[in-house]
Amino acid sequence: MKKILLTTLLTATSLMALTNMEVAQKADEVTDGFGSSIAQTEMILINASGQKSVRELEIKTLEGKNGDKSISTFLTPADVKGTKTLTHEHIDRDDDQWLYLPALRRVKRIASSNKSGSFMGSEFSYEDIGNQHYNKFTYGDKVEEVELNGVKCYKGERFPKDKNSGYTKEVYWVSKDKFLLLRVDYYDRKSELLKTAIFSDYKLIDGVWRVGKIEMKNYQNDKSTILIWKEDKVHAGLTDKEFNKRVLKK
């Protein structure tokens, strides 16, 4: 009996002793292992008056040890159809990102200094769609145990290492049971609250947790963007050649 109580106490102590970085690492790990994926998604843009506009896009992703590669292609409406964004993520340096504009038949490189800019008029920035690997941040000392909408969570702070980041600090909530990222508050370069992202509708697909919905609310302009995964296929058999700059003009 004493041994059982001691084991329980040690387990509880171990969980309490998790650092910010350990929580972030575990949150990364539960979404790793998909190989490659093809997702059909819907982007809903909501302006300050509540008016909505809807875009359909396809997102392909290739998992990599030193950073993923992804390409987003807008399918509708007509004014953005064929626009593509290619991202080569890097854990140890700035991501490489390119934008293809079909009307100009031109590929434009997204400069690191512009990564805080809006992604296609949405409340997501180019930084948001880039690499969020746990090693891209430093972390606060304190991990809080809190509840978020009835879910027990770890709450912590992380600070982007990139000097070109649009954020000085991010506060995040990760569920204690599955280590799923549920919310991130983003603070701008003036250290004021800028945006909140809510992550929901997670699905376990072939042993990998996949987010089903992200809602990004901007407090400073009162606009929102919702990204919904309508279809999501993992282990899709994609290869590196499908994420080359040359594919942008195809």
The answer for residues whose C-beta is within 8 angstroms of residue 245's C-beta and 6 or more apart is 86, 98, 107
Residues 209-242: b if buried by 16+ CB within 10 A, e if exposed: bbbbebbbbbeeeebbbbbebeebbbebebeeee
Nearest to 207 by CA among 29, 27, 26, 34: 34
Stretch 202-226: mean pLDDT: 97
pLDDT at 151: 97
Confidence check: pLDDT of 14 > 50: no
Identify which of 130, 126, 181, 136 has the alpha carbon closest to the alpha carbon of residue 158. 136
Q: Are 115 and 166 in contact (CB under 8 A)?
A: yes
**pLDDT more than 70, % of the chain:** 94
Picking from 1-10, 65-74, 125-134, which range would have the lowest pLDDT averaged per residue? Answer: 1-10
- Which residue range is the domain that position 194 belongs to? 20-249
**Closest residue by Cα to residue 143 from 133, 131, 152, 132:** 152
Query: What's the confidence (pLDDT) of residue 218?
Result: 98
State yes or no: pLDDT of 11 exceeds 50.
no
SS3 labels along 24-74: HHHHHHCCCCCCEEEEEEEEEEECCCCCEEEEEEEEEEECCCCCCEEEEEE
End-to-end, the C-alpha distance of the chain in Å comes to: 68
- Which structure tokens are listed for 169? 């600090």
Is pLDDT above 70 for 15?
Answer: no
Residues with Cβ within 8 Å of residue 40, at least 6 apart in sequence: 56, 58, 229, 230, 231, 232
23: closest CA among 209, 179, 160, 151?
179
DSSP annotation of 95: P
104 or 171: which carries more pLDDT confidence? Answer: 171
The yes-or-no verdict on residue 4 having pLDDT over 70 is no
Asked if the structure places residue 147 within a domain, the reply is: yes
The one-letter amino acid code at 177 reads D
Q: Is the pLDDT of residue 46 over 90?
A: yes
pLDDT above 90 as % of the chain: 86
Q: Is residue 227 part of a domain?
A: yes
For residue 79, the model assigns a pLDDT of 94
Domain assignment present for residue 9? The answer is no
- Residues 206-219: what's their mean pLDDT? 97
What's the pLDDT score for residue 51? 98
**Is 172 part of any domain?**
yes
Residue 2, pLDDT above cutoff 60: no
User: Residue 12 above 50 pLDDT?
Assistant: no
Higher pLDDT among residues 6 and 49, named by residue: 49
6 domain residue, yes or no: no
**Residue 5, pLDDT score:** 39
Element (H, E) at 155: strand 151-160
pLDDT for res 168: 97
Structural domain contains residue 3? no
Distance CA 164, CA 160 (A): 9
Structural domain total, the chain: 1
* pTM attached to this predicted model: 0.91
The CATH number for 236's domain is 2.50.20.10
At residue 16 the predicted structure's pLDDT band, cuts being 50, 70 and 90, is low
* Mean per-residue pLDDT, 37-41: 98
Among residues 26, 10, 31, 34, which one has the least CA distance to residue 153? Answer: 26
Binned at pLDDT 50, 70 and 90, residue 245 comes out as very high
